[in-house]
Structure 1
Amino acid sequence: MKFMNGNRKRYLTGIFFIAPISIIIFTFLLLPILQTMYYSFTDWRGVGEYSFIGLKNYINIFNDSSFKYSLLLTIYVGLSIAFLTNVIGLTFALVLDQALKTKNILRTILYLPNVIPIVVAAFVWRYILDYNNGLANKFFSTFSSESIHIPWIDSPDYVVPTIIMISTWQMIGPVMIVYLAALQGVPLDLIEAAKIDGASKVKRFLNVTLPMIAPGITVNILIGLANGIRIFDLPYALTGGGPAGASETLAIKIYRYAFQSTELSYGMAASFIMTLVALVITLLFVSLSRRYERNVM
């Protein structure tokens, strides 16, 4: 009887401790998702009455060529940012994991872009990448006999790679920190054993270091995907989604639907689609990463 009372007490204590966070998660996360799903099947404009219209919003969305472009653009940007931040972040982490006198200063410099507010950074980059008087074009002009004018943010051909470049620049710091922490957990005796066996640096990295930091790779992939798929503030502050809608990501598209066109239910349907896309891509990469971890560990 005392054993049962003890279990009941621990059970009630657990409920007491998880109840506040559970209420917060339900109120501010799960409930809005459920409401978004419900209103996406209506013609609600944010105020007033509404009627149930079924799948009409979703049908109209997938018949909208601009939405399809924004969806594909968002996936492309998200995957590109995840790939580049991981490759560059891991490279810097490997360099700074060495016994360098200036490694602490270099770590600070590389992490600094993540501290700068993205809207402030966007306005600075607009000045740097200006077509006529930007510092970037002036810098490249010094290596040429003619004045160089690259439309970094003024041309549909350049604006998306430019946004990916800036996003990667901002996210390298956190990704590098995760990799540095993962590298600290690589046993030195394994590396020494590989050296004794005659393994080259490349083979030691591929066969010893990389498998040992596999959990860090999973975390950083999620960081890159999360920031890439939901990207809004940088392209909106940098170009407003232009030129000619070339940098209009799905988040910007949803913002226009909901708050500029007052088609709130239409925007909710689009946001639910973005959530599903992000969920599918994230689960796919997590599944692949976990499978890799199981195979190498």
Structure 2
Amino acid sequence: MANTETIPVTAQGTAKKRKRLSYSIWFILPAFILYTAFVIYPTLNSVNLSFTSWDGVSDEIRYIGFDNFVEMFRSERVYNALKNTLILSLSLVVLENIAALILAILVDQVRWFKSLFRSIFYFPVLLSGIVMGFVWAIIFNFNFGVISQLLDRIGLSDWKIDWLGNPNYALLAIIITTVWKGSGYYMIIYLAGLQGIPPELNEAAAIDGANRWQRFRHITFPLLASAMTVSVMLSMIGALKIFDQIAVMTDGGPGFATETLTYIVYKVGFGELRQGYGTALSLMLFVLILIVSLIQIKLLRKREVQM
């Protein structure tokens, strides 16, 4: 008797699950079709194009095997772009996170107008990379830039630097600009982490005689491990893909002084009409970002566990 009652209930439950599953599939299907059309298919097609000499315009596509990859690994220009990319990425990860952590601590300790200061520091994030690049290009201009005019006014004209025209300073100008723009974004992440730390921990440490640095070193900093993991990951990925600032401020110059892997893909693919070679470079950039991200995740997660 018990078996005859259980079977219909089970069958009814299975039918409901199948019905819910069918509804879920219909909801997911439009997004899956769009994602396939605009992400999966172009990615797979890029792998195919990397083995061609296609110029991006003509209908003829000629397969050349691994010639693009051989040229890529023999090119001094590519190695220079890789060097610039690594220098830029490491500098931005360190400087953006240090600046963001300092800003977060300052905002967290402010008693009055906390929301105002948070908005001021976050405002550069809202600017587009193009607009921000134009603004800083004017600031760094050797002839009429704000920095040059200020040095002229105070009688220090000999200290003027051609930031964007000197290969020794152009990459530094890009770094300064990007740190100014991105620090506010990571400040919000650190600020959320700071506000999640119980105040009783710092109060107890202060009662025990710990100074500000000791409280930060042994309490605040370890408890910000998860926020730091997110910030470092995002800043590294963003630095590896930086494009807007370089396009507006230096166009990869002077010479190839600020040309990164992202920018060389654009220059080769659209400037020199070598889509096949540019696609091969973009695949190398994808592999680089993937490797760096996996290494970061492993190291930062291990650090979280240790802390």
TM norm structure 1 = 0.93
What are the equivalent positions in structure 2 for 1:43-82 lying under 5 Å apart? 43-46=53-56, 47-82=58-93
Instruction: Out of 241-250 and 125-134, give the one that drifted further.
Output: 125-134
Q: Which residue is 1:249 aligned to?
A: 260
Q: Which residue is 1:161 aligned to?
A: 172
**Secondary structure, in 3 states, of the residue corresponding to 1:155?**
coil
2:26 alignment partner AA = F
Please state if 1:197 is matched with 2:208.
yes
Q: Which residue is 1:238 aligned to?
A: 249
8 Å contact from structure 1 (residues 83, 224) kept in 2: no
Choose which of 214, 218, 231 in structure 1 pairs with 2:229: 218
Q: Could you tell me how far 1:145 is from its partner in structure 2?
A: 5.2
8 Å contact from structure 2 (residues 148, 157) kept in 1: no
Bigger radius of gyration among the two: 2
Instruction: Out of 47-56 and 249-258, give the one that drifted further.
Output: 47-56
Q: Could you tell me how far 1:289 is from its partner in structure 2?
A: 1.4
Aligned-partner Cα distance in 2 for 1:145–1:252 = 35
Please state if 1:26 is matched with 2:61.
no
Q: Could you tell me how far 1:257 is from its partner in structure 2?
A: 1.1
**Deviation string, structure 1 residues 256-279 (Cα, Å, up to 9, x no partner):** 111121111000000111111111
Please state if 1:258 is matched with 2:269.
yes
**Secondary structure, in 3 states, of the residue corresponding to 2:109?**
coil
Aligned-partner Cα distance in 1 for 2:31–2:108 = 38
Question: Where does structure 1 lack aligned partners over 5 or more consecutive residues?
Answer: none
Q: Which residue is 2:5 aligned to?
A: none
Q: State the identity %.
A: 33
8 Å contact from structure 1 (residues 85, 168) kept in 2: yes
How large is the RMSD of aligned CA atoms in angstroms? 1.8
1:83 alignment partner AA = V
Q: Could you tell me how far 1:91 is from its partner in structure 2?
A: 0.5
8 Å contact from structure 2 (residues 107, 114) kept in 1: yes
Instruction: Out of 119-128 and 226-235, give the one that drifted further.
Output: 119-128
Question: How many residue pairs align between the two structures?
Answer: 296
**Deviation string, structure 1 residues 160-191 (Cα, Å, up to 9, x no partner):** 01100000100011111111112111112222
Q: Which residue is 1:122 aligned to?
A: 133
Aligned-partner Cα distance in 2 for 1:71–1:219 = 24
Choose which of 133, 146, 150 in structure 2 pairs with 1:139: 150
Q: Could you tell me how far 1:142 is from its partner in structure 2?
A: 4.7
Q: Which residue is 1:281 aligned to?
A: 292
Aligned-partner Cα distance in 1 for 2:90–2:27 = 38
Instruction: Out of 89-98 and 41-50, give the one that drifted further.
Output: 41-50
8 Å contact from structure 1 (residues 222, 282) kept in 2: yes
Q: Could you tell me how far 1:34 is from its partner in structure 2?
A: 0.9
